[in-house]
Structure 1
Amino acid sequence: MELLKNIILAVHIIGVASLLGGALVQMPGARRGESRIIPAIRHGAWTMLATGVLLVGLQYPLGNEVNNVKITAKLAVLLAIIVVMLLNRRRETLARWVIPTLAGLTVANVVMATAWTAYR
């Protein structure tokens, strides 16, 4: 079960890399108003959501405690990413704020995952 969790965690990190990498690739175009939602952004966001749900679900059979406040905050940030992505996915060019917002929210999610410690 621990091996399965680690494999899912690896895929989750690949999703983060895809989302953030896709946003960073589009960043120069965002300044010129020529950016768009590319497949790397879409697939990364959906991968993060699916694997994140699986990771939380696997914590219970493994006997680990789950910090529900942290998970809820991370889910809220990811849902904001998905909403921004979905609202702008079909546009040929995006408003200048879309790509930096996606990148910033992704970084915020990573910071929450790594720096947030449980205070009980």
Structure 2
Amino acid sequence: MEIVKNIVLALHIIGVASLLGGILVQISAIKLGKARIIPAILHGAWVMLATGIVLVGLQYPLGHEVDNVKITIKLVILIAILIIALINRKRETVARWVVPTLGVLTVANIVIATVWRPYN
């Protein structure tokens, strides 16, 4: 079961890389006013959502406790990312705030995942 968790975790990290990479690719386009939501952004967010749900579900059979507050905050941030990306995905160019907001939310999610530790 631990091997499955590690494979899903690797896929989750690939989703983060896709999302953040897609955002970073659009930075130069923001300056030109031509930024858009590229497939890497949406695919990365969907992969993060699916693998995140599986990762939380795998914690119970492995006997690990889940920090529900942390998971809820991360889920809300990811849902916000998905909503912003889905609303803007078909636009030829997006408003100047869209891509930086997605970047800040993504980095916030990464920081929460890595820095937030349970109180014991």
Q: TM-score, normalised by structure 1?
A: 0.98
1:31 to partner: Cα distance: 2.1
Which residue of structure 2 aligns with residue 11 of structure 1?
11
**Number of residue pairs the alignment of both structures matches:** 120
Provide the C-alpha distance between the structure 1 equivalents of 2:27 and 2:58, rounded to a whole number of angstroms.
Answer: 35
C-alpha distance after superposition, 1:48-79 (max 9, x if no partner): 00000000000000000000000000000000
Report the TM-score, using the length of structure 2 for normalisation: 0.98
Give the corresponding residue for 2:101. Answer: 101
Residue 26 of structure 2: SS of its match in structure 1?
helix
**Separation in 2, partners of 1:78, 1:38:** 17
Structure 1 letter corresponding to 2:42: R
Q: Corresponding residue for 1:24?
A: 24
Q: Distance in 2 between matches of 1:82 and 1:105?
A: 11
* Sequence identity percentage: 68
Gaps of 5+ in 2: none
Distance 1:46 1:30 in 2: 23
The aligned amino acid for 2:11 is V
User: Which residue does the alignment assign to 1:48?
Assistant: 48
Say whether 1:116 aligns with 2:116.
Answer: yes
Structure 1: runs of 5 or more not aligned: none
In structure 2, the partner of 1:64 is 64
Q: CA RMSD in A?
A: 0.7
Q: 2:73 matched to which residue of 1?
A: 73
Structure 1 position 28, deviation (Å): 1.0
Amino acid at match of 1:42: L
Q: Partner amino acid for 2:65?
A: E
User: CA separation in 1, counterparts of 2:106 and 2:94?
Assistant: 18
Looking at structure 1, the residues matched to 119 and 49 of structure 2 have their Cα atoms a distance apart, in angstroms, of 25
- 1:102 and 1:6 map into 2 onto residues whose CA distance is 27
In 1: Cα distance, 2:33 partner to 2:83 partner? 20
CA deviations 1:22-44 (Å, max 9, x no partner) are 00000111122101111100100
How far is 1:82 from its partner?
0.3
